[in-house]
Amino acid sequence: MGLYREQVIPRIVSAVCSMKSARPLRGRVCAGLSGEVIEIGFGSGLNLPFYPPQVRQIAAVEPADISWNMAARRLAQTNITVERSGRDAQSLPYPDNGFDAALSTWTLCAIPDVSAALREVHRVLRPGAPIHFVEHGLADDEGVRRLQQRIDRVHARVAGCHVSRPIVELLRSAGFVITDLDVFYQRGAPKFAGAVSLGVGLAA
């Protein structure tokens, strides 16, 4: 599983997250970001074209070297300073209260200890600073939820992500106050993997 997880899954994730239907969602979730932003799960840099000009610097947290290599072309095309200065969102190498905002897009499904990661993001944000998120997770529909819970373990092994995590509940448990939220099924994705939560939470 080591080679598969390190070499194959990042390519699968980059391809799936490049879906045309994801682009407007990236535009929505990046709107309003400014200052110094920490992005967890930077991946192949798919959010870079959607960052507003008010963003000065991005601290990119990305564990996979292959994903960072795939981001090279997008990094070369942006005027924003981007530094890969962290690999593990569960233990961020930054002092408290240092960032103006955080961004997480289709990332919380893949982090082993997602609660620890969100507590770390909360720690490094300035008080009242926002986390912008678009994530897939546990659906509202009972039938879809049952399917998600049945296939979650296998899906995590094959595709590298969990499909039954309660995203909004996890954010609230980490100390974020949700101020904006849209819940829907992503067009073009199967319901078990396309139950999306898009919104903003403030570090209380």
User: How does DSSP assign 90-154, residue by residue?
Assistant: TS-SS-TT-BSEEEEES-TTT-TTHHHHHHHHHHHBPTT-EEEEEEE---SSHHHHHHHHHHHHH
Q: Tell me, what DSSP letter sits at residue 22? A: G
Does residue 56 carry a pLDDT above 60? yes
pLDDT higher than 60, residue 4:
no
* Contact yes or no for 41/110 (Cβ under 8 A): yes
pLDDT of residue 95 exceeding 60 = yes
pLDDT value at 12 more than 70: no
| CATH for 17 | 3.40.50.150
What residue numbers bound the domain in which 102 lies?
2-203
pLDDT at site 39: 98
Domains identified in the chain, total number? 1
Q: Which residue in 139, 135, 127 sits closest to 175, CA to CA? A: 127
Buried-state track 69-88, b at ≥16 Cβ within 10 A, e below 16: ebbeeebeeeeeebebebbb
Dihedral of CA atoms 49, 50, 54, 55 in degrees, nearest 10, equals -70
Decide which of 87 and 173 is more confident: 173
pLDDT (0 to 100) of residue 1: 43
**Predicted TM-score of the model (pTM):** 0.92
Tell me the pLDDT band of 7, cut-offs 50, 70 and 90.
low
- Which range among 17-26, 113-122, 124-133, 178-187 shows the weakest confidence by mean pLDDT? 17-26
